[in-house]
Structure 1
Amino acid sequence: MELKLKNITSYRKDQFTTINLSKKINIFYGQNGSGKSTISNFFYNMNDESFNECECSLIENYRPFVYNTKFIEENFYNTSEQKGVFTLSKENADIEKEINEKELLKQNLTEQYKEKKSFRDRLVNNDNQAESKCIDSVWEKTENLRTSSLKPLMKGSLGSKKSFYDNLKKATEALNIDLNSLAREYDELLKHRNIECPTITLPIKDFLLPHEHELLATPIIDLSNSYLSENIKKLQNLDWVKAGKELYLNDDYCPFCQEKTITANFIKAIESIFDESYSSKTDQINTIREKLIHNMRSHLQQLEHEVMQCSILSDEEKEKSIAYIALLGRTLDKNASLLNEKVKNPSISITLHVDDESHTNIYTEIAKHNKKINDINQKAKSFKKSEMSIKEKIWAGVQYFCHTDLEILRAEKEKNKTELETTDKDIEHITKSGKETSNKIQELRANVSNIDTTIDSINNRLKNLGIDNFNIKKHTKGEDKYVIARTENPEGENVYRSLSEGEKTLITFLYFVEYCKGKTDKSDTDNREPLIVIDDPISSLSQNYIYDIASMVHFEIFETPASKKVIVLTHNLYFFHELVKLVPKSKNDKIYKRDYHLGKISKNTHSTFTEIDKSSLKNEYQSLWQILKDAQHGKINKIIIPNIMRNILEYYFAFVHKTDALQTELIKLAQNEENGNFRAFYRFINRGSHSDSVNISDMGEISPDKYMEQLRKIFSMTGDEQHYLKMMDETEDEAVTA
């Protein structure tokens, strides 16, 4: 069990001050104003919004009973009557025996419940640890995904590992979802958001008509009646004649004999060979050549341009398609050469090359590209819908990607599920039996419990302490209530306010001790183990009862088996020592080590808690000197130095019976005009801790060294300087005399 205090009164605002409460008995010492009351106020009303940032583990298992100023105000100062404390009467032994048996059964059921609850907590913890391990693994594995372009689609789930995992759990696993491909798909979607990408033109396999292929495959020959035709056919040199006609027959000179042998009849005979029919066919061949070369080259260039400009295609896809287009280009070059030959020599027969494989490949590739383009265009037209589809696939893909981790977790949870179900049934059965037992105990108590026993107990204690001028009795009008009454005036009102401070402390604490034993409401069914918190039961005005109250705390609270956990807070070192001295002696101090936890609450800028060991405890007088040395070295706020000095002077000079000498020397020092700083100091120690604003202002001007100088001067003037030096560790010659 731990108490963690933060952002409350003088405790730090930025971090917890942690107090270990695992031991049964916790005794904490601290000066007034150090932060003790904050602890008791927390347990008195944990729902107070000022404690919103404070925590106490396992507190749900305990019922706090708190003695502090709030308890006194509520039960005594602000009311003239007190709630009756119901305890068992001693007349009905059989019912009491049955109650004891039921209480023992209830205690056993409580132990069983704790064991089952602890076992269940371990099972739940195993589940939580397995889940945490899975969460960490999933988070680590998906680092690249969480920083990819898909990150915006996971908005709201990347704030923490847990939120990411919670979204993942909601998804349905889908096989074969490639998260990298999904990221690329989303990139394309974003790139073409509201922009339609054009498809690529499909490649054309053949640019010529069948009759054009037929013409290319047919030799163009002379069909005229020229007297030259027979010889040309015989020599098969029509193309040679055609070339010679076009190149050399420019006038009437023969290009070979250089004589004027070229006559009009010869020219006519030559011309008649290449008649209109022949010319028409050669013109067609020329047209076919131009058509094929121009159209196909333009087509291939268009294909290459469209592929290269397509932003959807990857570089790899583009390179592959361009390679196929290049193969078709080489086929075009070959066909262009054939056509040039046909134009030169119309009489030859040619068949154009066809690269079916390359054409099929490029056609297939472009068809695939166009499908991809059309898919993205369609998604771009309905961007939100496409984006949502990708978003759903992300989590399904992550489910598949992390299915090994998730399966390990499922197996672990399944393993614990059966045990959890069995344990829950056991807890339900134990809880039911516990309620039935508690109801039976309540029924039995209602028959035999009353408030008379508490009255007798408190009044007997008052008599034993020698107090006979007041007691408590039943309220005459309000059933089940008490009032404090004067012995000589039983009907008087507001008796509490007329009591001395010591008597007030005593009656309130006696009532509290009984309050811890019983119940103030018959119908009270809260049977949690008690957590008893006692805050400063000894004030400066109740010193006479210090040993009596310490004895009650020890024997009525510490030693009572029902007190499962106790916290005592005090500013009084004598009371603190008395509680520690009452610890039962055992071999090797086993009881102390097992049950007791000692601590010190200090305050400089902030309240702090320090554990202390039994062997390090000093008496109160020595502790005052230690506080003085701590303040001098800045460990404690220097504002307390004058008050500590006042306490030291009162303790020491009262002990050595030199109080008059002290007063004489103090007056002398105060009247000394050369010692102006001492006047404020004198005024302060004479007024105690109730200084006025002028006094505080005066004291604020004196440094800690000046304080010490004034104190030493007092001891010196009374002849006790050696004692001062000894207590300040400045000499070892003088033994401590107080």
Structure 2
Amino acid sequence: MITRIDLPLRVPFDSEQTVIDHLNRVCFMFGPNGSGKTTVSRLIANESTSADPKYLHWDDGGAISTYVYNRDFIEQNFRHVDNVPGVFTIGKDSVEAQKAIDDLTAKIEKEEKSAKAAQANLDQSEADCEHLTGQLQEACWQIRRDLPGSFQPALKGTGKKSAFYDKVIKTLSSLQPDEPTPDAQELDQNATLVFDDTKTAVPQIPPVDFSDILTLEETPVLKKVIVGKEDLPITAIISELGNSDWVATGRHYIGEGPICPFCQQPTITKDFKTQLEQFFDRTYADDIETLHQTTNRYKSLTSEASSQIEGILNSYASFLSSDKLRASLEEFRRITQLNLSALADKGTNPSLPVTLGSCSDTCKEIASLLESAREKVGEHNRIVSNRASLRKTTTDSIWKYISLQAKPRIQPLQEQAEVLAKRINGLTSSVQKSEERISSWRANRDTAEKRITNVRETADTINDLLVRFGFTNFKLDVADDNKSYRIIRENGDLVENTLSEGESSFLAFLYFYNLMSGSQTTTGVSEKRVVVIDDPITSMDADVLFVTSSLVRRLAQQARSKEGPIDQLIVLTHNITFHKEITYSRAGDGESQTSYYFIRKRVGHSTIARCAKNPISSTYKLLWQELYSADCRPLTAQNVARRIVETFFKLMGGIDIDQLVSGMSSPDREVARSFLSWANAGSHSAFDDETFINTGATTESYRHVLESLFESTGYADHCHHMIQLAQQSQAST
């Protein structure tokens, strides 16, 4: 069923966008000639067959077959009187076949409802799945945003969320359940090398040797008490005083003479000098020399090692655990500095034994850190030298890392997606099976219809109606092909172009009416359809008009009851009598399923308004509505006022209107004569030398004079009642 029509901005609906909405099972549209009724019917006809409709809106059932009766239909089907397309209907005597077709139709309709419900659930499930897929893609995309720049070459071809998500899912499906996650930092380093052709090999980290330093820390002389010879006379006094180191230092101040450099007395004898030289013999000198060499070498080696490590820190930072190595270096410097202080003390007091602090553990830590860095340098150089072959391996590792990062985020959503996928598969299967059943039943129905449909039943029905209403000089005759008709006279001759307009109109409508319960092919007789009828009573006399009205009412009843193929009926007319007849319905006939519309002609364009109730009650009532409408023009008001007077007072009789007018005072008298002159055209030459000129302000004058006439004749209450009805009608539309 059509629910809304958006009329394009075309003549006569070109002033503003016009929408015909709230269409019901039965729709009646009233409008004068030239107001745009045929424009509406043609739009429906064209849109219903368009592959891309823009102006028609359908209910949930979607578009169905649409039949439009207007001048185009008549021209298309009655262009050749010897080849009118046949109307196939089911023969009246095919009761059992009709029942079988009805049963199939009922099954089809029931299955269509089931398929429609399943399709609605399927559409919703697919929408939910699409939304869920969007969430999955976004979850993966968030991971992509946080990836280091070095990974970008591995992500080529996945610049869209959907492609990136698909790659993640594909990678996850190829991994083992306990697959470890690659190290991100290591991947970053490898990717930088593999994908950056500017990266080159790096010289290996030079070795740092701590063995000599550790050996010097254990030099025996450091723990030795270095003193002079023990079997000399002065040994006793030196030992007793414990000033061997003081004497060793002081002896360097003794000169050639006997004067002591400290007490300035002649106490320095030759024998004393000899004993001093003998006390500090060669052994003592060698120990002192060994001590000095140890101190100097320890200082040199530790300084060199410290500088070497510092250089490595500066040159190989990207390969090192720099913080750890820096801390170990500081510890090394702290220990060696303490040891150098101890060595300095030993040098000042050789007789004092010293034990140096060991930096063995620190050296091992430094050596371990440097060895780890060397391995990284080696790996770096290996990757650089094998860059081409490692790109695929690195790319695979990157995607493994990404996918394992995404897994905990998307797993709950994937579980929901799996449930939806099963539901979608089930609903898809259900819809497909329904469509297969519907297709099979339709094929069976078409086969049944082909066997029992014929064009002769329609011809007999139409001919019977023609005879009953006095059209006895022409009829429909089934052509030799049993698929079409000829329009012939009683003697068998073709009518050619000799039918009157009224005869043609009635025949065409009877043809269309029978088509609504049939088809122009051997199948499709039972298909649902929308029926549009545009002014079918052109040139018909009163009797035929009432017959046509009765048939249209029957179509309306079928649409309201939903029994038969008529799903919706839209009727457009300008004839008030016909409109009154087709809109008549008994109580309970489905007035709630009926919509009314009024098409008005404005200056240069038309408008369509939906009415709360039937806007046309009678010609007489319509005249009052026109006269008291806000846009009634002077010339229109003059003619309408005349028709109201003519209609009412002719009906009442016995009232001399001319006498009443003569008794009026000016200017009411002239106004009344101006519209009464239309009723007496030819009986008066002029207004007895009195004139009245229409202006924009005279419409109210016509209303005033009309009311005066009714008051003068005692029908003021009637006049006021009709004015009130007219104003109420204006307000409702």
Using the size of structure 1 for normalisation, the TM-score is: 0.68
- Report the Cα distance in structure 2 between the residues aligned to 1:207 and 1:45, rounded to whole angstroms: 98
Residues 24, 564 of structure 1: 8 Å contact kept: no
- Report the Cα distance in structure 2 between the residues aligned to 1:71 and 1:169, rounded to whole angstroms: 59
C-alpha displacement at 1:286, in angstroms? 3.2
- Residues 381-420 of structure 1 mapped to structure 2, 5 A cutoff: 386=394, 390=398, 393-394=401-402, 397-414=405-422
C-alpha displacement at 1:514, in angstroms? 1.7
Letter in 1 for 2:219: L
C-alpha displacement at 1:585, in angstroms? 1.8
- Deviation string for 1:115-159 (max 9, x for gaps)? 431453355256336536635764786785476458989899898
C-alpha displacement at 1:46, in angstroms? 3.8
Residues 580, 618 of structure 2: 8 Å contact kept: no
- Deviation string for 1:280-338 (max 9, x for gaps)? 5244223323223312332453465468x64x99xxx8656655554444334433433
Letter in 2 for 1:258: Q
Residues 304, 325 of structure 1: 8 Å contact kept: no
In the other structure, the counterpart of 1:709 is 697
Q: Secondary structure at the match of 1:51?
A: coil
- Report the Cα distance in structure 2 between the residues aligned to 1:663 and 1:319, rounded to whole angstroms: 120
- Asked if 1:508 is matched to 2:508, the reply is yes
In the other structure, the counterpart of 2:443 is 435
Question: Could you say what the CA RMSD is over the residues aligned between the two structures, in angstroms?
Answer: 5.8
C-alpha displacement at 1:674, in angstroms? 12
| Aligned residue among 249, 254, 264 for 1:258 | 264
- Report the Cα distance in structure 1 between the residues aligned to 2:375 and 2:625, rounded to whole angstroms: 91
In the other structure, the counterpart of 2:219 is 215
- Asked if 1:537 is matched to 2:535, the reply is yes
C-alpha displacement at 1:527, in angstroms? 6.1
Residues 637, 702 of structure 2: 8 Å contact kept: no
C-alpha displacement at 1:552, in angstroms? 1.5
In the other structure, the counterpart of 1:74 is 76
Cα gap change, 1:648/1:158 in structure 2, threshold over 3 Å: closer, same or farther? Answer: farther
In the other structure, the counterpart of 2:107 is 109
Q: Secondary structure at the match of 2:529?
A: strand
- Report the Cα distance in structure 2 between the residues aligned to 1:511 and 1:183, rounded to whole angstroms: 85
- Residues 346-425 of structure 1 mapped to structure 2, 5 A cutoff: 348-354=353-359, 356=361, 360=365, 363=368, 367=372, 386=394, 390=398, 393-394=401-402, 397-414=405-422, 421=429, 425=433
C-alpha displacement at 1:99, in angstroms? 1.0
- Report the Cα distance in structure 2 between the residues aligned to 1:239 and 1:732, rounded to whole angstroms: 151
- Report the Cα distance in structure 1 between the residues aligned to 2:622 and 2:156, rounded to whole angstroms: 61
Q: Secondary structure at the match of 1:661?
A: coil
In the other structure, the counterpart of 2:296 is 287
Cα gap change, 1:342/1:75 in structure 2, threshold over 3 Å: closer, same or farther? Answer: farther
Q: Secondary structure at the match of 1:614?
A: coil
Cα gap change, 1:439/1:470 in structure 2, threshold over 3 Å: closer, same or farther? Answer: closer
- Deviation string for 1:681-705 (max 9, x for gaps)? xxxxxxxxxxxxxxxxxxxxxxxxx
Letter in 2 for 1:25: V
How many residues are matched? 662
Residues 86, 520 of structure 1: 8 Å contact kept: yes
| Aligned residue among 327, 333, 342 for 1:338 | 342
C-alpha displacement at 1:564, in angstroms? 3.7
- Report the Cα distance in structure 2 between the residues aligned to 1:205 and 1:142, rounded to whole angstroms: 50
Letter in 2 for 1:516: M
| Aligned residue among 121, 129, 132 for 1:131 | 129
- Report the Cα distance in structure 2 between the residues aligned to 1:170 and 1:606, rounded to whole angstroms: 63
- Asked if 1:656 is matched to 2:624, the reply is no
Cα gap change, 1:431/1:258 in structure 2, threshold over 3 Å: closer, same or farther? Answer: same
Cα gap change, 1:85/1:289 in structure 2, threshold over 3 Å: closer, same or farther? Answer: same
In the other structure, the counterpart of 1:491 is 494
- Report the Cα distance in structure 2 between the residues aligned to 1:144 and 1:606, rounded to whole angstroms: 58
Q: Secondary structure at the match of 2:530?
A: strand
- Report the Cα distance in structure 1 between the residues aligned to 2:25 and 2:20, rounded to whole angstroms: 17
- Report the Cα distance in structure 1 between the residues aligned to 2:601 and 2:169, rounded to whole angstroms: 50
- Deviation string for 1:378-431 (max 9, x for gaps)? 599679755675456545643431212321342354467567656755664564
- Report the Cα distance in structure 2 between the residues aligned to 1:458 and 1:614, rounded to whole angstroms: 35
- Report the Cα distance in structure 2 between the residues aligned to 1:603 and 1:254, rounded to whole angstroms: 147
Letter in 2 for 1:661: W
Residues 103, 441 of structure 1: 8 Å contact kept: yes
Q: Secondary structure at the match of 2:678?
A: helix
Cα gap change, 1:58/1:324 in structure 2, threshold over 3 Å: closer, same or farther? Answer: same
In the other structure, the counterpart of 1:551 is 550
C-alpha displacement at 1:439, in angstroms? 1.8
Letter in 1 for 2:697: E
In the other structure, the counterpart of 2:661 is none
In the other structure, the counterpart of 2:88 is 86
Residues 172, 404 of structure 2: 8 Å contact kept: yes
- Residues 513-592 of structure 1 mapped to structure 2, 5 A cutoff: 513-522=513-522, 524=523, 526=524, 529-538=527-536, 546-556=545-555, 558-559=557-558, 561-572=563-574, 574=576, 577-578=579-580, 581-586=583-588, 591-592=590-591
State the identity %: 17
Cα gap change, 1:453/1:281 in structure 2, threshold over 3 Å: closer, same or farther? Answer: same
Q: Secondary structure at the match of 2:65?
A: strand
- Which runs of 5 or more residues in structure 1 are unaligned? 633-640, 679-705, 725-730
Q: Which protein has the larger Cα radius of gyration, Structure 1 or Structure 2? A: 2
- Deviation string for 1:233-253 (max 9, x for gaps)? 95776644554467x568866
C-alpha displacement at 1:83, in angstroms? 0.7
Cα gap change, 1:203/1:99 in structure 2, threshold over 3 Å: closer, same or farther? Answer: farther
C-alpha displacement at 1:565, in angstroms? 0.8
Residues 534, 569 of structure 1: 8 Å contact kept: yes
Letter in 2 for 1:491: L
In the other structure, the counterpart of 2:26 is 25
Cα gap change, 1:289/1:168 in structure 2, threshold over 3 Å: closer, same or farther? Answer: closer
Cα gap change, 1:674/1:610 in structure 2, threshold over 3 Å: closer, same or farther? Answer: closer
- Deviation string for 1:179-234 (max 9, x for gaps)? 99969977996899736497996995835256534436655747899979967995
C-alpha displacement at 1:513, in angstroms? 1.2
In the other structure, the counterpart of 2:722 is 736
Cα gap change, 1:399/1:285 in structure 2, threshold over 3 Å: closer, same or farther? Answer: closer
- Report the Cα distance in structure 2 between the residues aligned to 1:406 and 1:570, rounded to whole angstroms: 56
Cα gap change, 1:479/1:540 in structure 2, threshold over 3 Å: closer, same or farther? Answer: closer
- Report the Cα distance in structure 1 between the residues aligned to 2:166 and 2:369, rounded to whole angstroms: 45
- Residues 262-281 of structure 1 mapped to structure 2, 5 A cutoff: 273=282, 277-278=286-287, 280-281=289-290
C-alpha displacement at 1:578, in angstroms? 2.6
Cα gap change, 1:193/1:143 in structure 2, threshold over 3 Å: closer, same or farther? Answer: closer
Cα gap change, 1:419/1:535 in structure 2, threshold over 3 Å: closer, same or farther? Answer: closer
C-alpha displacement at 1:64, in angstroms? 2.4
Letter in 2 for 1:83: P
Using the size of structure 2 for normalisation, the TM-score is: 0.69
- Report the Cα distance in structure 2 between the residues aligned to 1:373 and 1:528, rounded to whole angstroms: 84
Cα gap change, 1:371/1:615 in structure 2, threshold over 3 Å: closer, same or farther? Answer: farther
Residues 199, 374 of structure 1: 8 Å contact kept: no
Residues 25, 568 of structure 2: 8 Å contact kept: yes
Cα gap change, 1:35/1:541 in structure 2, threshold over 3 Å: closer, same or farther? Answer: closer
- Report the Cα distance in structure 2 between the residues aligned to 1:366 and 1:722, rounded to whole angstroms: 122
